[in-house]
Structures are given as structure tokens and as C-alpha cells.
């Protein structure tokens, strides 16, 4: 039930703010409704109203983060020219409020980087169930990097990119391919 829509780098950055601890399917619908120019131009109140209408748990916080992201648009545009996704991710985590490793990796994947993993709860559970990492209650920076390293080893064995492997794992665990 997800229809095609246009997105650019700034819109993708906003999408990754929207979907942190929230359903990606609803984030996709919000992104389609707000549109490229809406993320750039809608007022805080307009964004909040749309997010709230879709049942976003953190509607005001996410609207504020998106409004505060606007001055970083040129930085986000420059990120696509980085040769190393891991260095780009470090910069994103430092500069973008609301971005942890998962959100930064998700953004990078959506703009074409294949060398970073999106470690969400589904991927984390897969790694644990297959004895590739120890079970953890929370995913800290070190746990994220340890999980990514486990996936990198698996990628080498299977001759896949991080992007291919975690998409396959996500599909196996959820039966969905979203973005």
C-alpha cells in the first residue's frame, strides 16, 4: 500500500529522523505526504500536525529536529561525496541531532552507500540467534560496531555488500522490503 514518491537527500535525512523508534511504513507515508519542499518549508506546527495525524509517538520532537536540520542541508549534500561510509557516518552522528549509528547508516544507505550496516532489532536478533554476537539489551556504539564487524565477516564469506546482506536478513525476519 506504499505508493512511489520523489525524495531527495534532505528528504531522506528527514525520513531517517522520522523513523527512529517508529514504524518505517508510516515514515514512508509521512515522507510522501510532506514531500521534498514540505520538509524544507513547512512550519514547525505544520510538520507537527502531519506527524500527529499519522500517529507519530514523538511528533513534536521530530518536527523540531527536522526544522533544526535545515541549516545542515549543504553538509548533507557534501556527505554523498565521501568515499568512506564509516567516516561519513561519524560526521553525521556528530552533527545531526537525533542521529545515532543506525539512523546515520540508514541515511547513507538511502543515498547509495553500501559499506555500512543498518543494525536494527531484527538484524541484532539474527546475529544473536546465529551466535555471531552476544545478546545485548541496548545497542551502544561499541555493540553496533561489533555487530557490523560480524556482518562484515559474513559479507566476505558470502561475497555480498553490507547493503545486500542486511537487506536479506531484514527480509528474512520481517518478510518486508521497504526502502
102 is catalytic: yes
Residue 118: closest CA among 176, 174, 163:
163
Asked if 178 and 118 count as a contact pair (C-beta separation under 8 A), the reply is no
Backbone angles phi, psi at 147, to 5 degrees: -65, -40
Q: Which residues of 146-176 are buried (b: 16+ CB within 10 A; e: fewer)?
A: bbbebbeebbeeeebebbebbbebbeeeeee
Q: Which of 102, 153, 175, 179 is catalytic?
A: 102
Q: Which of 120, 134, 175, 176 is catalytic?
A: 120
| Residues with catalytic function | 102, 120
Amino acid at each position: 500500500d506504499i505508493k512511489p514518491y520523489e525524495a531527495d537527500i534532505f528528504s531522506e535525512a528527514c525520513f531517517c529522523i522520522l523513523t527512529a523508534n517508529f514504524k518505517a511504513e508510516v515514515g514512508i507515508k509521512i515522507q510522501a505526504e510532506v514531500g521534498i519542499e514540505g520538509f524544507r518549508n513547512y512550519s514547525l506546527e505544520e510538520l507537527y500536525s502531519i506527524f500527529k495525524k499519522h500517529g507519530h509517538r514523538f511528533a513534536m520532537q521530530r518536527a523540531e529536529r527536522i526544522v533544526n536540520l535545515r541549516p545542515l542541508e549543504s553538509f548533507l549534500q557534501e556527505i554523498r561525496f565521501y568515499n568512506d561510509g564509516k567516516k561519513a557516518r561519524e560526521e553525521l552522528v556528530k552533527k545531526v541531532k537525533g542521529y545515532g549509528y543506525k539512523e546515520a547508516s540508514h541515511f547513507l544507505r538511502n543515498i547509495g552507500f553500501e559499506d555500512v550496516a543498518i543494525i536494527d532489532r531484527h538484524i541484532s536478533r539474527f546475529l544473536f540467534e546465529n551466535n555471531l554476537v552476544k545478546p545485548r539489551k541496548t545497542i551502544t556504539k561499541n555493540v553496533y560496531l561489533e555487530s557490523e564487524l560480524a556482518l562484515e565477516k559474513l559479507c566476505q564469506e558470502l561475497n555480498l555488500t553490507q547493503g545486500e546482506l542486511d537487506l536479506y536478513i531484514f527480509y528474512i525476519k520481517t518478510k518486508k522490503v521497504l526502502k
